[in-house]
Amino acid sequence: EVQLVESGGGLVQPGGSLRLSCAASGFSVGGQYMTWVRQAPGKGLEWVSVIYGGANTHYADSVKGRFTISRDNSKSTLYLQMNSLRTEDTAVYYCARGEPFNLWGLGTVVTVSS
């Protein structure tokens, strides 16, 4: 079955770090545009970051310098390393495949709070 499954979310204090994972099954992340999108509680969708090609990446201004997207093709897994977390990073984080996003995971919840 073709699917994406996120993990790694949780509660973290401001200034802390988390690494999110997105495991792909039924296809290889290496040949795809792979993206992270987040949604704060009760709010709309916010594009966070994309990785494609060899290792081309782009980031939203709100996370640039703090978040790093990467992938392990051998494990067919996408990652998002999140450092210097802020309360405004609290959200459900989704990984998605393609552009546009034709396959989404179920999301993982990140809560940044003291």
* Smallest distance, other proteins to C-beta of residue 114, A: 27
If one asks whether residue 109 binds other proteins (CB under 8 A), the answer comes out as no
Binding mask 45-74 for other proteins (x = CB under 8 A): xxx--x-------xxxx-------------
Which one of the spans 19-27, 65-73, 80-88, 92-100 is the region binding other proteins (CB under 8 A)? 92-100
Q: How far is CA 76 from CA 1, 33, 86, 90, 113, in A?
A: 14, 13, 29, 26, 31
How many Å apart are CA 41 and CA 35, to the nearest integer? Answer: 20
* 102 part of the interface to other proteins, by CB under 8 A: yes
- Provide the minimum distance between the beta carbon of 58 and other proteins in the complex, in angstroms, as a whole number: 4
Contact letters for other proteins, residues 29-48 (x by CB under 8 A): ------x--------xxxx-
Tokens describing residue 94: 């989704």
Distances (CA, A) of 110 to 2, 27, 51, 52, 91: 25, 26, 21, 24, 5
Rule CB under 8 A: say whether 85 interacts with other proteins.
no
Place of tokens 């995971």: 105
At residue 21's C-alpha, the angle toward residues 27 and 80, to 5°, is: 110
User: Interface with other proteins by CB under 8 A: which residues?
Assistant: 35, 44-47, 50, 58-61, 94, 99-102, 104-107
